[in-house]
Amino acid sequence: MGKEKGKATTQTEPAEPAATSSVRASSTSKEILLQKSEKVKLINEELEDLLARCRSAGLNDHETRQCAGYFQNAAHQVRRKKLLRYVCIYSFLVASLCGAFYFNPTYNWISAHARLASIQFIPYYDFTKMYNDQCLVNNPLYEEPTQELSCDICKELGDAIESVTAAEASPSVIMNDFLDIQVPVVITKALGSWPAVNNKLDLDDIYKLYKESKVLRDNFSTGPHCQIVGPRDTFEDVLDALGKREDVTSFSAAWQNCEIKAYKEFRKLYRRPDFLPPAAEASQYNTVITSFGKKKEAGEFTSQSLGLVQGENDLAVWIGQVSGELHYTISPVGECSKCQTFDVYLGENDFLIVPLDLWEVSYRPVSASAPDAYAIMSGLVWDRS
């Protein structure tokens, strides 16, 4: 008997019937499967029942709101926790992104892959047009600020354009003493690092370069409309004159390499001078200025002045005289058109910088007996804001 009682006390309670367990499981699953609208409907019914009970108990509106305060506080607490969670997640993402950009290897990796991705996207939408735009939406009431120019600078220049050596020039001197105040300047002995100068390339070499380089020839066929200044209408005529210089009495022409591949190909002949300010960016074109001729009879040679075409956004142009000697005329424009005109003779290794707010530049051969000459020109752009 004792043993049986002991056994009875150690027996576990009867297991819950399977039917009861299934009912609870089914009720739980039903609650989970309730749609949001149904849950809201149940909550509204509960609140309406609570309101009815408060009114039946004789509570006024103030006492009723006090009873509902518990639910309102709970709802506010849930919203505050949710907002705090979003703030923490957002702050973590921003801090992680800033840390990644601050770490150079990660920043370089992100930049490289972002550029590759953007290049793949360009065929579908060319967003590069917006690169130089200050606003995505044009403001019809906005007026571009104009720089007030003083023509007094013409009087201060004297009778000749100032000339300095490359050793005397520096980026700060060129920007502060010349570009910012619209003063042209000649820098002598400035082209010592140019391959065209070091290799003594002449017009024969320029002719061969264009004949052998399909990229340079395609500059006038596949690229945008590049400017040609001179007596020839097409670049084929210009090239033909270069190749038959012995049969040509006199010739002067200038042409642009404005297609990007041709610009980069011809860019190999020269280097950016160290004295140009870093803020002054190079325009995406270069111009070849040429002149040659021989005097067979008196009066046969004519020295015609040819204007040089600048880039649309150029604030200044530079000209490097690679070989020979050319005569450049710097003329005032706009409000200061009554200022003095300056004549500049550039010899080999000379470098001319002309700001374009007050001036324009043209060229012509020095004389019929002068040797063949050519120069390279390009533009400069910088932020004046």
CATH code assigned at 210: 2.60.120.650
Continuous H helices in the chain: 2-10, 18-33, 36-56, 61-102, 104-121, 152-156, 171-174, 195-198, 203-212, 214-217, 235-243, 260-266
Q: Are 92 and 173 found together in one domain?
A: no
Q: Which of 267, 318, 49, 153 is nearest to 41 (CA)?
A: 49
What total number of domains does the chain contain? 2
Domain co-membership, 67 together with 106: yes
CA dist., res. 380 & res. 311, Å (int) = 9
Q: What is the structure's pLDDT at 46?
A: 77
Residue 107 shares a structural domain with residue 242: no
| End residue of a domain, out of 92, 114, 138 | 138
- Boundary of a domain, candidates 90, 107, 138: 138
Q: Tell me: do 96 and 62 sit in the same domain.
A: yes
Range(s) of the domain holding residue 166: 152-381
**CA angle at residue 166 from 160 to 167, to 5 degrees?**
120
Whether 163 and 190 have beta carbons less than 8 Å apart is answered as: no
11 domain-assigned: no
Judgement on whether residues 236 and 307 belong to the same structural domain of the protein: yes
Bridge-partner residues for 352, per DSSP?
186, 319
Tokens of 30: 């039903």
Instruction: Give the CA angle between residues 192, 289, 259 to the nearest 5°.
Output: 95
If phi over 0 gives left and psi between -120 and 50 gives alpha, with beta otherwise, what is residue 281?
beta
**Residue 370: CB partners within 8 Å, gap ≥ 6?**
291, 324, 325
- The reply to whether 126 and 168 lie within a common domain is no
Does a structural domain hold residue 315?
yes
- The answer as to whether 18 is a domain residue is no
Residues 356 and 233 in one domain: yes
**What pairs with residue 375 in β-bridges?**
289, 321
Say what the pLDDT of residue 4 is: 46
Quick: pLDDT tens for 78-125: 788 889 999 999 999 998 888 877 787 888 888 888 888 888 887 787
294 shares its domain with 318: yes
Q: In this structure, are strands 185-188 and 163-165 parallel, antiparallel, or unpaired?
A: parallel
Rounded distance between C-alpha atoms, residue 286 and residue 267, angstroms: 8
Q: Are 157 and 188 contained in the same domain? A: yes
Angle at 256 between CA 254 and CA 259, to 5 degrees: 165
Residue 231 falls inside a structural domain: yes
Residue 263 vs residues 124, 199, 215, 258, 296: alpha-carbon distances, Å: 26, 20, 9, 6, 37
CB 266 within 8 A of CB 257: yes
Considering the domain boundaries, does residue 13 fall inside one?
Answer: no
CA distances from 366 to 121, 185, 344 (A): 52, 20, 11
**Residue 3 included in any domain:** no
Q: How many other β-carbons are positioned within 10 Å of the β-carbon of residue 371? A: 13
Do both 188 and 75 map to the same domain?
A: no
Q: Is residue 304 part of a domain?
A: yes
Please indicate, yes or no, whether residues 96 and 187 belong to a single structural domain of this protein.
no
Which residue type does 167 have?
A
How do 373-381 and 286-293 pair as beta strands?
A: antiparallel
Say whether 366 sits in a helix, a strand or coil.
coil
Same domain assignment for residues 292 and 361: yes
- Give per-residue pLDDT as tens, 223-242: 556 888 877 777 888 888 88
List the chain residues with pLDDT less than 70: 1-36, 71-72, 131-134, 143-150, 221-225, 293-305, 366-370, 385
Closest CA to 214 of 265, 288, 269: 265
* Side chain identity at residue 199, one-letter code: N
User: Does an H or E element contain 231, and which?
Assistant: none
Residue 88 lies in a domain: yes
Helix pair 36-56, 61-102: axis angle to 10 deg: 150
Q: What are phi and psi of 162, to 5 degrees?
A: -65, 145
pLDDT score, position 242: 84
Residue at which a domain ends, from 75, 105, 138? 138
